[in-house]
Chains A and B, each alone.
Chain A
Amino acid sequence: MTDTAQVRQPERPVVHDEGGMDYLERLPRKVVTVYIPLAIIVFVLLFPFYWMGISTFKTNAELHAYKGIQALWVYEPTLENLRYLLWDTEYPRWVWNTMLVTVTSTFLSIFCAVCAAYSIERLRFTGARYVGMAIFLAYLVPPSILFIPLAIMVFKLGLFDSNLALILTYPTILIPFCTWLLMGYFRSIPYELEECALVDGATRLQILTKIILPLAVPGLISAGIFAFTLSWNEFIYALTFISSAENKTVPVGAITELITFDVYNWGALMAGALLGSLPVAIFYSFFVEHYVSSMTGAVKE
């Protein structure tokens, strides 16, 4: 069993000398060439979130009356926008729908992806390579060219305006990516382990569940987070297949139901955007490393 210690070591080129020639850089120079541009870019990247947060807690009067520098801060914080959102709209319902659809389609996709990746990477049936290529190409098919035919299919299947329509269509986005990701993980698990198990009389299913999956947990987590954020993000299918207010997901509900007449209730809209972003942001913050490594790893394949 000494092999297991060496199993989960992804091939990462070894970079010696942390810091490199950094010692040659003088501080004032580094401030101008690195810190200032970095600060500006990070500021621009984060400002919309700040603005979203600030606007959530502003009263309507404060949102529209700019008084000098004060606009960048809240002076009369109010929870009115959140109260309106949570009690006077169907927002909680949309959160529940999104959760349900996201979690179900994530698990469905992971299941399909695990089987497919194991099959392509380990069983190596005839033509496995081409199936792998096809899976990759499937990832490149964008939802914006599929939504019209899918709308017709969903309608004919009688799934229009139901959660099931989304649960069944989201995996088309998720499976290709998850499979591709897991193929990379499975590849890093040595063949010898599997051969030992085969000699000991294990079936392929036992090998998959007792050997491969426990070793591929980081990959499963990465695929899970990716699938979760992708389906939480999804918009065009939900916009097309769902029509009644109580079945909408957060992104669709926020832009179709919160905008009443021509007067935009910016406070409530921003509150909706903030609350809708939080679950993904929190989920992401727990698994940043997995997320980053899977994203960069999948691209490097």
Chain B
Amino acid sequence: MAVLQEALPVQDVSFWIRLKNNRNALGFLFMLPAAVMLLVFLTYPLGLGIWLGLTDWKIGRDGVFIGLDNYLWLFDDAVFLLSVFNTFLYTVVASLVKFAVGLWLAMLLNNNLPFKAFLRAIVLLPFIVPTVLSALAFWWIYDSQDSVISWILIEMGLRETTIDFLGDPNNARASVIAANIWRGVPFVAITLLAGLQTISPSLYEAATIDGASEWQRFRFITFPLLTPIIAVVMTFSVLFTFTDFQLIWVMTRGGPINATHLMATLSYQRAIIGGALGEGAAIATAMIPFLLGAILFSYFGLQRRKWQQGGTDD
């Protein structure tokens, strides 16, 4: 190529032709639409958000730089600390249960079942339907007067009175976590199912012939082969649970007495409803270290597992 081009007279190699043959220039051109969108509406706001956290910006008034005052203020704020606690409780409990139930459901679906494709399709429904709308259904199911769960328990003679699902702090926590689990299990289950389907049955046959019990087959075949996918799925699950907003906002708006406030809902309440954009941004920024931690944890967790998928170990 190079020889050919040099042989041509200079004026023949127009700007256009050189552009067409330059991978970097073309690559830049093709990247442009996506890069502009992401830089303007993702990277820039990300930086702006971090800066906002260092100002006393209010709705209707531009703020000035006040250093770490927002953060110092927040660390003395019992509501903020409670929201951090709630976020961790919510993320840890919901993720663990999602993982356990999801893995179980995946293994159930991995059996030889009639209508397998259909089952798989309807299992995924909670994940497809807009969260806000299914949260509305949960809100109605958790109604303090006419909850269908209370009613069934009373009908069965297990309880005398209705349960105040969203009015009592601990009940409310359990209720929103249950709704989050309901929403997240299908995603975990279906992705793990895809992982399970790649494990060759001959491994299980060989293990059975060698006398492995059901638990040993799970522990020494299923689990190790599934770890890379588990790591990815759980990273996603943890990230999205940690930053959840929709479910809480629809069902409790952080109440009762802030018992279900997550960092995301608190930052919305302080910034948009309360008007303290700077403080809200500081709360949102405070989530970043935890998110980074989760990403790095799974990244390094994954790297070490590469050999299991047939890659090299470097």
Indicate if A285 sits at the interface (CB-CB under 8 A).
yes
What are the nearest 9 A-B pairs in CB distance? Answer: A125-B27, A20-B201, A296-B194, A119-B30, A116-B34, A142-B243, A251-B132, A144-B264, A149-B45
C-alpha spacing A131/B126, complex, angstroms = 33
C-alpha spacing A119/B33, complex, angstroms = 11
C-alpha spacing A204/B65, complex, angstroms = 48
Most buried by B among A30, A48, A126: A48
Residues of A within 8 A of B112 (CB): 19, 22
Residues of A within 8 A of B133 (CB): 250-251, 254, 272-273, 276-277
C-alpha spacing A252/B135, complex, angstroms = 12
Indicate if A233 sits at the interface (CB-CB under 8 A).
yes
Residues of B within 8 A of A153 (CB): 41, 44-45, 48
Indicate if A158 sits at the interface (CB-CB under 8 A).
no
Indicate if A100 sits at the interface (CB-CB under 8 A).
no
B37 touches A175 (CB 8 A): yes
Residues of B within 8 A of A273 (CB): 133-134, 136-137
Interface size on A, residues (CB 8 A): 102
Residues of B within 8 A of A151 (CB): 271-272, 277
Indicate if B180 sits at the interface (CB-CB under 8 A).
no
C-alpha spacing A187/B243, complex, angstroms = 32
Indicate if B146 sits at the interface (CB-CB under 8 A).
yes
C-alpha spacing A236/B247, complex, angstroms = 11
Indicate if B245 sits at the interface (CB-CB under 8 A).
yes
B201 touches A152 (CB 8 A): no
Contact with B along A199-241 (1 / 0, CB 8 A): 0000110000000000000000000000001001101100110
Residues of B within 8 A of A196 (CB): none
A112 touches B37 (CB 8 A): yes
C-alpha spacing A299/B280, complex, angstroms = 32
9-residue interface stretch from A73-81, A84-92, A164-172: A164-172
Indicate if A7 sits at the interface (CB-CB under 8 A).
no
C-alpha spacing A21/B35, complex, angstroms = 51
Q: A115-B34, A251-B130, A292-B190 are in contact. Are A125 and B24 (CB under 8 A)?
A: yes
C-alpha spacing A89/B109, complex, angstroms = 42
B20 touches which of A68, A204, A295 (Cβ 8 Å)? A204
B128 touches which of A113, A116, A204, A229 (Cβ 8 Å)? A229
A148 touches B280 (CB 8 A): yes
Q: List 27 A-B contacts (CB under 8 A).
A: A15-B200, A20-B201, A38-B113, A41-B185, A42-B123, A45-B123, A108-B37, A111-B33, A112-B34, A118-B30, A137-B295, A142-B287, A145-B284, A146-B46, A146-B49, A150-B45, A153-B41, A171-B41, A235-B130, A251-B130, A255-B250, A291-B128, A292-B121, A296-B190, A296-B193, A296-B195, A299-B191
Q: A45-B186, A229-B128, A255-B250 are in contact. Are A152 and B121 (CB under 8 A)?
A: no
A66 touches B129 (CB 8 A): no
A64 touches B140 (CB 8 A): no
C-alpha spacing A252/B198, complex, angstroms = 41
> Interface residues of A: mostly helix, strand, loop or mixed?
helix
- Which B residues fall within an 8 A CB radius of A? 20, 23-24, 26-35, 37-38, 41-46, 48-49, 52, 57, 101, 104-105, 108-109, 111-113, 117, 119-126, 128-134, 136-138, 140-141, 143, 145-146, 148, 151, 155, 182, 185-187, 190-191, 193-195, 197-202, 204-205, 208, 229, 232-233, 236, 239-240, 243-246, 249-250, 264, 267-268, 271-272, 277, 280-281, 284-285, 287-288, 291, 295
C-alpha spacing A282/B264, complex, angstroms = 31
For residue B72, give the distance in angstroms from its CB to the closest CB of chain A: 19
B125 touches A281 (CB 8 A): yes
For residue B237, give the distance in angstroms from its CB to the closest CB of chain A: 11
Residues of A within 8 A of B44 (CB): 149, 153
Indicate if A103 sits at the interface (CB-CB under 8 A).
no
B46 touches A145 (CB 8 A): yes
For residue A87, give the distance in angstroms from its CB to the closest CB of chain B: 20
A148 touches B26 (CB 8 A): no
For residue A204, give the distance in angstroms from its CB to the closest CB of chain B: 6
Residues of B within 8 A of A269 (CB): 136, 140
Residues of A within 8 A of B37 (CB): 108, 112, 168, 171-172, 175
A17 touches B201 (CB 8 A): yes
A277 touches which of B20, B130, B155, B245 (Cβ 8 Å)? B130
Q: A51-B141, A169-B41 are in contact. Are A71 and B31 (CB under 8 A)?
A: no
Residue of A nearest to B36 (CB): A112
A148 touches B27 (CB 8 A): no
Q: A30-B111, A171-B41 are in contact. Are A123 and B23 (CB under 8 A)?
A: yes
A233 touches B130 (CB 8 A): yes
B132 touches which of A55, A113, A254, A291 (Cβ 8 Å)? A254
Residues of A within 8 A of B32 (CB): 115
Most buried by A among B43, B111, B113, B239: B111
A15 touches which of B29, B41, B201, B277 (Cβ 8 Å)? B201
A115 touches B284 (CB 8 A): no
Residues of B within 8 A of A299 (CB): 191, 194, 229, 232-233, 236
